[in-house]
Structure 1
Amino acid sequence: MIGLWDTTGNEVVKALAAERRSAGGVASGMALTLIVVVDEKRVREAEAAATIAAAAHPCRLLVVVRSDVEREQSRLDAEIVVGGRLGPCEAVVMRMYGRLALHAESVVMPLLVPDVPVVTWWHSEPPSQIANDFLGVVADRRITDAAQAINPIDALRQRARDYAPGDTDLAWTRITPWRTLVAGAFDTTAARVTEATVVAPSTDPTAALMIGWLTARLGIEPRWQDTNDYARMRSVELDCANGDRLVLTRENNTAIFERTGQADRHLPLTRRPLGDELAEELRRLDADQIYAQALSASTGLTGLDDRPGQRVHIWNDPTAARRAAVPAGAPGSTPVAAPAGSGGPAQ
């Protein structure tokens, strides 16, 4: 590992190249560049998840930690790891302070692996508009997590309003095992589903997307039965036109499948590590149309797939309102210098 403190973007690029030569890294072996935007308190979680994902998808991992954006003096600290504790990947963990944190792309762009897809993952509260973050605009695929928002259901609605093909959310990834089991229940019957009920807390974004998926796939309006007894989705119940009733209920790491006229079956339904969920989303780098349909059905917003796949960067300064409110001559009213930690574009 190489540690660079109070450094520049140019120095990071040079140090990564030197470490790659020393460790025998080969850029052509990278399947993608994974940019992780994360808060300081969740850096270790993000690193652990990325290590699992990198085992299946060799990548260059660029971790961006933004801190103290109102600080007058910009600063960049970086750790470079090739192999080692983060597994089979090239990793650069960058902690950015001051105005540099608002221009992270000035450091990140020279570090992208040439000619491979770029994925940006926010392991934090999702951005209101991805177009406000250049790290999202430059990405071919963008991964958010509505569950980390203060109000996850409102966050899903915002994801629909802000959606562009290539977006996805880990709340959707978490219902993959549920969708697999529900779809598998119809391998032996062609009976039409007439009613459906999802039992889950009213704040569970996975339940909202499950209802959206059932609506899009079956053309019905499922009922959401609120429960305060469980922290996550409890069961999915389906009523068929032939009188059959199918119920899938979670019990710890097992799903109990009940069907009219048949003995109950116990099926695996484990809660996967964050790294496995991330690895699943890295398997595909095109637009997920099924997710778009489920998100559309769950939020009532239509035409998501018809939107342009690329965004145009919209500059947004989160400190502008505060600085504008400070009277001239008062502490904090001095104009802030341009970012000094990036060192300019590196070649």
Structure 2
Amino acid sequence: MAAHTNPLEETQMNAIVLERHGPPEVLRVRRLPIPALQDKGVLVRVRATAVSPGDCRMRASKPPRGEQSGPKRVGLDVAGEVVSVGAAITHLRPGERVYGFSMRSVASAEYALLPGSALAVIPASLTFQQAAAVPLSATTALQALRDVAKVKQGERVLVVGASGGVGTFAVQLARILGADVTGVCSARHVALVRELGAGRVLDHGRTDFTREPERYDVVFNTTFARSFVACRQVLARTGRYVTVALPPPWVDRVASSLLPGPRLLMASVTPRGDDLRQLSAWIDAGQLRPVVSQVFPYTRFADAHRASEAGQSGGKLVVDMESLNEAGASL
């Protein structure tokens, strides 16, 4: 893949990085080279990003053995403006507002280079801050429900963690796919989840849904709160338990492989511009909306990580990156 010269006058940018793994305090602003444009790439001026539990786990966890030292960028979601496109890109042009995500953690900087196949134009009704809440979480929910669980019209879907970043999209997308939706969340977010379209909402502080008489075709678990074994009894005989959490424990895997009935399914997520364009169409039609819990200035990037780790927000935590190019930027 051929590299192109940097289309900008400057050669370096401000970026929020971690120089070692640890608590939010390890995040720093540093100068890094602006990524070199590639044939299938798009250079984006980042205007906003979002903080997810995955970002926090990556920051806090021990690095893989053999990983090279040095500053590492954080952040998966990108919302911004196209600066320049590679020779193979025909569907985007400089100046367009775009959003997408990369599993390589490139978002926490003035500029990010993403594959053109992972980007789509931001719906006109969304601000950069609202758009940053969409890519990773909404795509995760869509691929889990449509592609992994294969939700069908009229099925009963239970969303565990319905007020979180993935959960708020899952409630809405399950409805769009024609399902009857029940959400599980904390008491403070019951009204929000009901507003998003859940026909029934359970406060997990008062109701143990695994002991309820209802049976579901799909249990979509977006949290670590309940295992497959615990949820199995509320699944229909042909039910599917789908999780986007870390790999399930061995007890769940053994139970799924040996016991008849409901199946345990793991959902991963892949950046796809086509999926973002479908999500954009639903947003434009008023069927889907991002829920932004709080917007932080980039100077409070570490606070956004702390808030994510506290786990009490409804929807997504967003960071405004507009002023990261200011001289003397600091956290």
TM bin (shorter chain): 0.3 to 0.5
TM-score relative to the length of structure 1: 0.35
Question: Which of 1 and 2 has greater Rg?
Answer: 1
- Which has a greater percent of helix? 1
- Which has a greater percent of strand? 2
